[in-house]
Amino acid sequence: MKFRVERDDFTDAVAWTARTLPTRATSQLQVLAGLMLDATGPALKIAAFDYEVAAQCGVDATITEEGRALVSGKLLAEITRALPSAPVDLQTDGTRVVLTCGNARFTLPTMSVDDYPTLPPMPAVTGHIEGAAFAGAVSQVAIAAGKDDTLPVLTGVRIEIDGETLTLAATDRYRLAVRKLKWRPTAEMVEGVAMVPARTLSDTAKSLSGSGVEVAIALGSGPSGEALAGFAGGGRQTTTRLVDGSFPPYQRLLPDSSPLTAQIEISPFAEAVKRVALVAARTAPVQLGFSADHLVLEAGVGGEAQAQETLPIGYEGPDLSIAFNPAYLLDGLGALESDVVHIGFASADDADEAAKKPAILTGKAPDDGEVPDYRYLLMPIRLSG
């Protein structure tokens, strides 16, 4: 194998692919710590695979001798980041790979190409979506995904396909994020559901968010019958196994309407939450007191440090006191694509009852019964006493 490639293109491709490398490779699966350099086609392909996620990136290269080589992914990523600004020449020399860039020269041992597993092929494409829009929607939803591996179904993002509508949903039992957006399916009446690992989906969507990048989304099965999702765009392709399990029936948690709503400017509200939360213990809530035209934020109890701040708001209703986890509240505020947050409560007549039920954060109030594209449901924290 022998090829020449531009330094920046090679560095970016290696760095992107190396993110899929397993953090630990057992002695039996040491080859999974390697990056596969495949120069057997018109372009160079760099691949990584850990049996759960496969990543492959194409790079324009001048290939003079076709071949494949498997080298340490972590080491190659570190080397490429440090290379001088010059074309990169790479060739095999027996059981080693020689990389030359300007006056720098590196010799790396190779691993057995024959021992490397075959990457699963991309399933048939289900539809397409603009990369930046997809990345934005994923970031809004993935914040609500769980991080507890003992409940794997909550660590995923549910992708629902219903014709031209794509719905993303995630929950960790304490909050729920749902985003609807339009896309272009390959078939007019296509339907489907997939649970994609949230971390993989977030990393993949972000990497495909470049200007003008169109993302192909594919739902299907692998060669062994395993359920797969694939995402491709801009010369990059990722396939991942889906998360097993039944996602909670979240639709019934989302109310058809919020009879009581408060409108607050997000920037001063978020800053106030951060300040007041400084005196709260790690798991302690911030209490929000809604009254006509103003909001009082409070944290700290008893003989501990305490904080209080008042903000002007748009609110007409009974005095209402409700408490939230400040980190979860800030996540929701940061995900809204708006200058104002609308916080909806389930009851307009009984403030005590409203304080016990989830609140709905949206970037705009429902218009003539139209449901906002993005909704962030947040469970309240019941205060002792």
- pLDDT of 367 > 90? The answer is no
Arithmetic mean of pLDDT, 107-134 = 94
Summarize pLDDT for 286-308 with one digit per residue, the tens.
Answer: 999 999 989 999 998 777 889 99
pLDDT of residue 350: 73
pLDDT of residue 24: 67
Summarize pLDDT for 12-47 with one digit per residue, the tens.
Answer: 999 999 999 987 655 557 899 999 999 998 999 999
Sorted by sequence, the CB contacts under 8 Å of residue 171 that are 6+ apart come out as 144, 145, 146, 154, 177, 248, 250
124 vs 110: CA distance, rounded Å = 33
Tokens of 12: 């970016």
Query: How distant is the alpha carbon of residue 193 from its chain centre?
Result: 17
pTM (whole model) above 0.95:
no
3 vs 99: CA distance, rounded Å = 10
Summarize pLDDT for 245-275 with one digit per residue, the tens.
Answer: 899 999 988 887 778 899 999 999 999 999 9
Summarize pLDDT for 33-90 with one digit per residue, the tens.
Answer: 999 999 998 999 999 998 899 999 999 999 999 999 999 999 999 999 999 999 999 9
Q: What is the largest CA-CA distance in the chain?
A: 79
pLDDT of residue 384: 64
Summarize pLDDT for 342-366 with one digit per residue, the tens.
Answer: 999 987 677 787 788 899 999 987 6
